[in-house]
Structure 1
Amino acid sequence: METITCNGSGDSSTIFYLMGIPSLPKCLFLPIFFVFFLLYMLILMGNALILVAVVAKPSLHKPMYFFLINLSTLDILVTTTTVPKMLSLFLLGDRFLSFPACFLQMYLFHSFSCSEAFILVVRAYDRYVAICHPLHYPVLMTPQTNAVLATSAWLTALLLPIPAVVRTSQMAFDSIAHIYHCFCDHLAVVQASCSDTTPQTLMGFCIAMVVSFLPLLLVLLSYVHVLTSVLRINSQEGCSKAFYTCSSHLLVVGTYYSSIALAYVAYRADLPLDFHIMGNVVFAILTPVLNPLIYTLRNKDVKAAITKIACPQ
């Protein structure tokens, strides 16, 4: 990446210029647009179907499906924050973002991504209670408790990125700041600044570690207890049923953290800038695309409800 030299200061007059994927030939812009557009439509339709199915079918009004519609909502929100601008970039060459628009996109993208990590933790706790304390499940996982858990996950995630976003907005930028990315990712915006980027890079890294590894640790801790309880089940049928109820969630967790790992490796490894950008793009799109497929294929109740909506008799 080229060294940034400028004399400006960060204020509302700054315009951000998205470089997209710098090495991508223009002849590939249209194919990339159609790929992203197709994926975006799949995300919207797949998650919308899950939302409608869970809300419309009374038998799915259970804690695990309540948290599932939170995940589906987040998948729609996190992609809508970034993908439409990427589509505009590749189809129309629309690369400019105003100062407020860029920082709003940055804040929403990271907030919704954090929310997804915390909702995955809440779902892991739900499975832990269901399998390890089945007799206490109706008492522990009441609608009020579920609402408090989901609200806490959303509020925590909405608050966490604020310090990094505010501090980054106070950095110095040229009147036209070039961002080497397809959207206003925190690190890419920091690297577009004229100021010393070390403090903001460190802050962003620390927040990312808290948001990534602490939820992962809690999920793993929940499933250690789940595995211990499952292994104590004498019935093979009961054991298989317990594993089956957790399989969808484990696949989603695996997909989510695999995409994070891909983005992290692309950033840390000595790879071209394009790989770093694509790693972040994959993180923004991969999980929202796969989540509806996983829950539709692996959960017979959701699959039956969606089938009934799509093909009413």
Structure 2
Amino acid sequence: MEGYALHRRDRVAATGPMDGANQTQVTEFVFLGFSRVLQGQAFLFLAFLAIYLITLLGNCLILTLIVLDPQLHSPMYFFLGHLSFLDMCYSSVTLPKILVNFVRQQETISYRECMAQMFFLMICAGTECALLTVMAFDRYVAICKPLHYTRIMSKKVRVPLATACWLWGILDSAIHTFLATDVSFCGANQIHHIFCDVPPLLKIACSDTYVNEIMLHLASIFVGLIPFLLVLISYVYILLAILRIHSNTGRRKAFSTCTSHLVVVIIYFGMAILNYNRPSAGYSLEVDTLISTLYSIVTPMLNPLIYSLRNQDVRGALRRALGHQKKDCVSPQSL
């Protein structure tokens, strides 16, 4: 694939007088995330294509195993199935457009496509924060209240919890998208990013974005910080419960049931903090692009690898699906 020149066409449509002055409203945005990459577009295309395929295949495999294997029909894997589906959606919001732009040799997106991409991206982000919190609560119940695990995490509880996670993400996204559609973009259409997200869009807005910024700060607290603190609190109780186990084997087994989820939490929330809370100054465009790529593109690919490589039950289900192992007995506490 030949190197391409960044198209900086400003397609604008007259919108009439605004605040007493003749202004124009952009109908197309230009991504600058890869604008300094003059060579190696073919390599980037193949790399992002490989990441997308691995993400889809890995998460689809886990989702299929959870649906088909009766031994994975437990609360933990019920939530893991939602996480796998969510990660496939996460990647599908951003990567196809990036790949198409590489093929078309121009980093552009229409206004409506940008708003739609932002809407679905924020649904995925908000839902994943809530879902990881619920999964931490599931681990807390399994380790700290094993005798009541089946009753507390019954189908009547886990289905509403998963539904609430999705509704929470949709509500958060709807608020930000509604406010973003009320923002004016007057001529400046170059986004210092690789996909449409709220912070980079607000930077090029020509109207007042005070309300948008307030909602971003509130979202960082209620959608990001509070769920992260709840996860930490859950794991503090889990750690205390594990330390009270006298047997080294039992302590190691109890901790192993949480390691996969804990690794996913650290990676996801760590990347989210870097992506949304880094200072406006001191970061280059290349660093911004790298952080955004790790947060929204690489993380969904890592989740199925983490759960399949570190989780004995998932590996066992895969071997059973391939006919290499007899069914194992799996207790609810080990799921």
Task: State the TM-score, normalizing by the size of structure 1.
Answer: 0.91
Residue 116 (structure 2) pairs with residue 104 (structure 1): yes
Paired AA for residue 15 in structure 1: T
Residue 27 (structure 2) pairs with residue 15 (structure 1): yes
1:293 to 297, 305, 308: 305
2:48 match: 36
Cα distance in 1 for partners of 2:290, 2:28 equals 19
SS of aligned partner of 1:183: coil
1:157 match: 169
Cα distance in 1 for partners of 2:181, 2:271 equals 27
Paired AA for residue 201 in structure 2: V
2:231 match: 219
Cα distance in 2 for partners of 1:91, 1:246 equals 42
Please report how far the alpha carbon of residue 147 of structure 1 lies from its aligned counterpart in structure 2 after TM superposition. 0.2
Cα distance in 2 for partners of 1:249, 1:304 equals 18
Cα distance in 1 for partners of 2:14, 2:183 equals 10
1:91 to 103, 124, 143: 103
Task: State the TM-score, normalizing by the size of structure 2.
Answer: 0.85
RMSD in angstroms over aligned alpha carbons? 2.3
Cα distance in 2 for partners of 1:97, 1:302 equals 39
Question: Does the C-alpha gap of structure 1 residues 122 and 52 become closer, same or farther in structure 2, counting only changes over 3 Å?
Answer: same
1:284 match: 296
Cα distance in 1 for partners of 2:283, 2:310 equals 36
Give the greater-gyration-radius structure (CA): 2
Paired AA for residue 104 in structure 2: L
Question: Does the C-alpha gap of structure 1 residues 22 and 134 become closer, same or farther in structure 2, counting only changes over 3 Å?
Answer: closer
Deviations 1:245-297 (A, max 9, x none): 01111011111122123324655451212322331222101221111111011
Cα distance in 2 for partners of 1:242, 1:268 equals 42
Please report how far the alpha carbon of residue 42 of structure 1 lies from its aligned counterpart in structure 2 after TM superposition. 0.6
Cα distance in 1 for partners of 2:132, 2:169 equals 12
1:254 match: 266
After TM superposition, the runs of 4+ consecutive aligned structure 1 residues lying more than 6 A away are none
Question: Does the C-alpha gap of structure 1 residues 301 and 175 become closer, same or farther in structure 2, counting only changes over 3 Å?
Answer: same
SS of aligned partner of 1:27: coil
Please report how far the alpha carbon of residue 94 of structure 1 lies from its aligned counterpart in structure 2 after TM superposition. 4.2
Please report how far the alpha carbon of residue 69 of structure 1 lies from its aligned counterpart in structure 2 after TM superposition. 0.5
Residue 210 (structure 2) pairs with residue 207 (structure 1): no
SS of aligned partner of 2:206: coil
User: Which has a greater percent of helix?
Assistant: 1
Deviations 1:93-115 (A, max 9, x none): 24333322211110110111111
1:3 match: none
SS of aligned partner of 2:246: coil
2:131 match: 119
1:236 match: 248
Cα distance in 2 for partners of 1:8, 1:194 equals 15
On the 8 A contact 1:103/1:165 being kept in 2, the answer is: yes
Cα distance in 2 for partners of 1:177, 1:168 equals 14
1:24 match: 36
Deviations 1:210-251 (A, max 9, x none): 221111100011111111111111222211111010111101
